[in-house]
Structure 1
Amino acid sequence: MADIVARYVGNKRVEAENPRSGGRLTFDQGKPDGLGESYDPVEGLLGAFAGCTLTMIAYAAEANGADAKGATAECDCTMAERPHRIASITLTIRMPQAEYTDSQKKVIQKYADACPVGLALSDKIDKKVEILWP
């Protein structure tokens, strides 16, 4: 069974579904009025990168006696013109107020850098993951 099944429905709109969970997402390049909530494909990619990285950080924190609850992520990208593509992505993570040891910080950064979505991005994309500690 596929992880995602997507279908182009016209008018620059793609509907995707996870058959296992039933989760649905609509990617709408043109974002025409009246079609409900939708996401630009680049926004979807950036959201997936931020969400995956936060999840990896949560795993690392919990396994090392810390808590990542309340961590936030901001993801920005720069587009190249020719060929039109994502040129760079900067992901800034703000960790919640807590005392983190140097060892915890090192492991959390290692997990953030090991995000499967980030690793799947092209090597032509300049990626930066910055963690801001309280």
Structure 2
Amino acid sequence: MKTSEITYTGDLRTTSIHVKSGKEIITDAPTDNQGKGEAFSPTDLLATSLGNCMLTIVGIAARNHGFNIDGTKAEITKVMAENPRRVSEIHVELHFPDNNYTEKEKAIIERSAKTCPVAYSLHPDIKQEITFSY
């Protein structure tokens, strides 16, 4: 089964439909690459996917080990490089609202975040800088 369908709608914009749910994502080219920057760029989505994946996998691990990460936030910073234009670094700051995690739970959190599927799928030349704030 297809994952998504993407339509180029003009003016450097795409609309992506998640086939199973019908949910929609719009992307624009960034302002530093001839775009309007009115929505996520494709490279923004790449960087954001890392944070989404980390929180999802940590959430699964937390559920399996009997603790909660509800309210945890991720702040993502994407760094671009030139020649060729590409994502060179992704900085992920994970902020946990509960500061009462045990050392074992913190180890589970950090191991889970760093081993999410998106982290493993990114090219090794893309630096992943991950910080955890409890």
TM-score grouping bracket, smaller chain normalisation? 0.7 to 0.9
SS at match of 1:20: coil
Q: In the alignment, residue 65 of structure 1 is paired with which amino acid?
A: G
SS at match of 1:108: helix
Aligned-residue offset at 1:98: 3.8
Find the aligned partners of 2:17 and 2:87 in 1 and give their Cα distance.
Answer: 24
Which residue number in structure 1 is paired with residue 32 of structure 2?
none
Q: In the alignment, residue 26 of structure 1 is paired with which amino acid?
A: I
TM-score by length of 2: 0.87
Which residue number in structure 2 is paired with residue 20 of structure 1?
20
Which residue number in structure 2 is paired with residue 101 of structure 1?
102
Which residue number in structure 2 is paired with residue 62 of structure 1?
63
Find the aligned partners of 1:120 and 1:8 in 2 and give their Cα distance.
Answer: 26
Q: In the alignment, residue 124 of structure 1 is paired with which amino acid?
A: D
Over aligned residue pairs, what C-alpha RMSD do you find?
1.6
Instruction: Determine whether 1:51 maps to 2:52.
Output: yes
TM-score by length of 1: 0.87
CA offsets 1:40-96 (integer angstroms, 9 cap, x no match): 112222222211211111111122221100111011121111111111111010112
Q: In the alignment, residue 57 of structure 1 is paired with which amino acid?
A: V
Which residue number in structure 2 is paired with residue 125 of structure 1?
126
Instruction: Determine whether 1:31 maps to 2:36.
Output: yes
Aligned-residue offset at 1:14: 1.2
Structure 2 segments unaligned to the other structure (5+ residues)? 30-34
Identity %: 29
